[in-house]
A and B are shown apart, each in its own frame.
Chain A
Amino acid sequence: MRDAATAEDAVQEALLAALAGEANFAARSGLRTWLTGILKHKIVDTIRRQARERPVSDQDADADAREFDGLFDERGHWETPPEAWEQPEGALGQKQFLAALEACLRALPERTAQAFMMREHLGCETAEICKELGITATHCWVMLHRARMALRLCLEKNWFGRT
């Protein structure tokens, strides 16, 4: 979710929904699972609302598809092939790394970040993401690819390429 205020609203709505449904709680397995489930629905609700207010155009899809063409030569080979990242698993335990990752996520275009977070963070299927964002499956795959390419470059610049 892009701005803190929107995220806060989503969390607040989730908590209100949680309190309102307290009677059902005893039947649930655990507080965290239960809250996370509600929160996921609330985040999706927020994304759906935003998608309705500002639809994505097909023009955006074309621009997205071409965005990383510059990384490749005219035959489609890497201009500069990606180097292996050193000990990426070690980075996962570091707070600074997670902060760098969050900064890279924030730098993505809003819809691209939403699609990526729905897929990788919330574990939604592509069909669900397309529906919520009001885009075609093809555009959805383009967006997710764009997110991965941009995050790869961003982390390389801000983390793995530092030394």
Chain B
Amino acid sequence: MMLSCKETTRLLSQAADREIGFGERVALRLHLVICKGCRNASAQFKFLRTAVQRLSLDESEEKPA
């Protein structure tokens, strides 16, 4: 039941792209509670999304000119 860090990063990524199941969500939560490395990776994945969207904002501001 306990996920490895490798499985956790894979599931973290999938959670951003598909509806993950209840069991998967619980397993993910459990692992994140005990693993700082994966918590950091999780925060960084989320940050990547924000950063790439920022890229989009900047571009659309320059394009109509």
Contacts and interface: CB of A to CB of B under 8 A. Distances in A.
Interface of A: 11, 31-32, 35-36, 39, 68-69, 71-72, 75-78, 81-85, 88, 91-92, 97-98, 101-102, 105, 116-117, 119-122, 126, 137, 140-141, 144-145, 148-149, 151-152, 155
Contacts of A120: 48-49, 52-53
A126 B5 contact: no
Interface residues of B, number: 34
Contacts of A97: 51
A81 B36 CA distance: 8
Interface string B1-36: 000111101100110111000000000000000011
Give the secondary structure class of B's interface.
helix
Given A72-B4, A81-B35, A88-B51, 20 more contacts: A76-B4, A76-B7, A77-B6, A78-B37, A81-B36, A82-B41, A82-B44, A85-B40, A85-B44, A85-B47, A88-B47, A91-B51, A92-B50, A98-B54, A101-B55, A105-B52, A120-B48, A120-B53, A149-B13, A152-B48
Contacts of B9: 68, 145, 149
A72 B6 CA distance: 7
Contacts of B6: 69, 71-72, 76-77
29 contacts: A11-B63, A36-B60, A68-B9, A72-B4, A77-B4, A82-B40, A82-B44, A83-B40, A84-B43, A85-B43, A88-B43, A91-B51, A92-B50, A92-B51, A92-B54, A97-B51, A98-B54, A101-B52, A116-B52, A121-B52, A122-B56, A126-B18, A140-B17, A145-B9, A145-B14, A148-B45, A152-B44, A152-B45, A155-B44
A31 B54 contact: no
Interface of B: 4-7, 9-10, 13-14, 16-18, 35-38, 40-41, 43-45, 47-56, 58, 60, 63-64
A126 B17 contact: yes
Contacts of B44: 82, 85, 88, 152, 155
